[in-house]
Amino acid sequence: MDFRIEKDTMGEVKVPQDKLWGAQTQRSFENFRIGDVKMPSEIISAFAYLKKACAVVNGKSGRITEEKAALVAKVCNEILDNKLSENFPLSVFQTGSGTQSNMNVNEVIANRANQLSDKKLIHPNDDVNACQSSNDTFPTAMNVAAVCTIEHKLFPALDKLKNAFVLLENNNPDVIKIGRTHLQDATPVKFSQEVSGWRGLLENSRDMIEMSLKKLRKIAIGGTAVGTGLNAPEGFDEKVCEELTALLGTEFLPDENKFRALTGKEAFVFSHGALKALASNLMKIANDIRWLSSGPRCGLGELNIPENEPGSSIMPGKVNPTQCEAVTMVAVQVMGNDTTIGIAASQGNFELNVFMPVCAYNFIQSLNLLSDAMNSFCDNCVSGITVNEDKMKEYLDRSLMLVTCLTPVIGYDKAAEAAKFAHKNGITLKDAVLSLGLLSEEEFDKAVKPEKMV
């Protein structure tokens, strides 16, 4: 492999000739060979937007020349177009401030800009990182990546799944089935009402995540090293936020307390708590569907789900609720990520949190897993669900909990006696009521109407 020599304040370093990074990136690459988890591309893209916004502001203020600002912006566009993606090799498990990833971006932008200008024009620290510190740029990139991934990936997937449930609900307006509580028979419910519960879980989760965006929109840029804003001109934070808002089409605001912004990650804890709530709701929905579709002959069998692949390597003809299982595994992973993020956020020692890369990684992973899982669940399961009305009617007719509507007529104690008598003797509720002489057949038929119980 061909190498070139790059220099930093610690001396010379060999860097692969075909890579755009510099000495500090190379040192991190060599010193942190920990796992195979790399800095998420969403963080790199957020950095590109941030560096572009900062360059525009610095160019307008005269902090750097317009030529330099234009070159930085041009390279940032190349990063956003995925033309330079092989130049961001660093592990998540690096310095807790994310300094090395900030410098990775700075070095790539500077070296590529110098290639484009065919001269040594731009310095990674003096120009690309002007008026900035890793301590305010990395938390800013975290927030930008979180907001954009929620808005552009998570919400579309969530809305798509919700709309699939709306369609299932609307297509089955009058199907009545037996309800279940404590895994035991309960009073009747419309299937559409049951589905509306699933839909409502998604809608409520979306509302909570939307609420959490308010805090994520407040960013640390302008705080520089410890929150004092040293080396950043007054108003720099506001102008960068204006540029970011214009670039991304979604609002970002300066955090009014930079000292809190550098050390506190409670906005991520709060927002990921809403993601965990979504994961919990998806777990419940997926489990409901796999229980209701269990069978085909020895389970509940009220729902038919798409048969996507063979379910067993030994049992021919077996088909399993694999999409439901995938969703529930994602839910478990997100719940684990929530613990990691909570602990990471607690490590704000003095003026800086030093667990930011792992916090950012887990948050972005949760967003991507939830988004992908909801899309897969929608496309490969929910959109193909059909109702087994015969099975639902069979369970409804056999249920003893229809006795609940008799309580106002014969009282709770006699209704309980009838239900227990029917169960003990293996007869219908109607036969039990008639055998016990509690009502006439006409009185029973008038009182027990499932369609009036929903």
Which of the residues are catalytic? Answer: 182, 312
Cα–Cα distances in angstroms (integers) from residue 81 to residues 302, 383, 427, in the given order: 48, 33, 70
- Taking phi over 0 as left and psi of -120 to 50 as alpha, with beta for the rest, 98 belongs to left
Q: Which two tokens stand for residue 92?
A: 């998540």
Q: Which run of H or E residues covers position 26?
A: helix 23-31
Q: Which two tokens stand for residue 382?
A: 């929910």
Query: What is the rounded end-to-end Cα distance, in angstroms, of the chain?
Result: 73
Q: Which two tokens stand for residue 106?
A: 């700075």
Q: Where are the alpha helices (H) located in 118-256, listed in sequence order?
A: 134-149, 155-170, 191-216, 236-248
Q: What does DSSP assign to residue 437?
A: T
Length, in residues, of the chain: 454
Mark 173-188 as b/e (b = at least 16 C-beta within 10 Å): eebbbbbbeeeebebb
β-strand pairing of 253-254 with 218-219: parallel
Q: Where are the alpha helices (H) located in 249-355, listed in sequence order?
A: 258-263, 266-292, 322-345
Q: How far apart are CA 386 and CA 296, in angstroms?
A: 14
Q: How far apart are CA 188 and CA 181, in angstroms?
A: 11
Long-range contacts formed by 265-268: CB under 8 A, 24+ apart:
265/139, 265/341, 265/344, 265/345, 265/348, 265/353, 265/355, 265/356, 265/359, 266/215, 266/345, 267/143, 267/212, 267/215, 267/216, 267/218, 268/142, 268/146, 268/216, 268/341, 268/345, 268/359, 268/363
Token pair 């839910």 is at which residue? 331
CB of 98 closer than 8 Å to CB of 106: no
Name residue 198's amino acid.
W
Whole-angstrom Cα Rg for the chain? 30
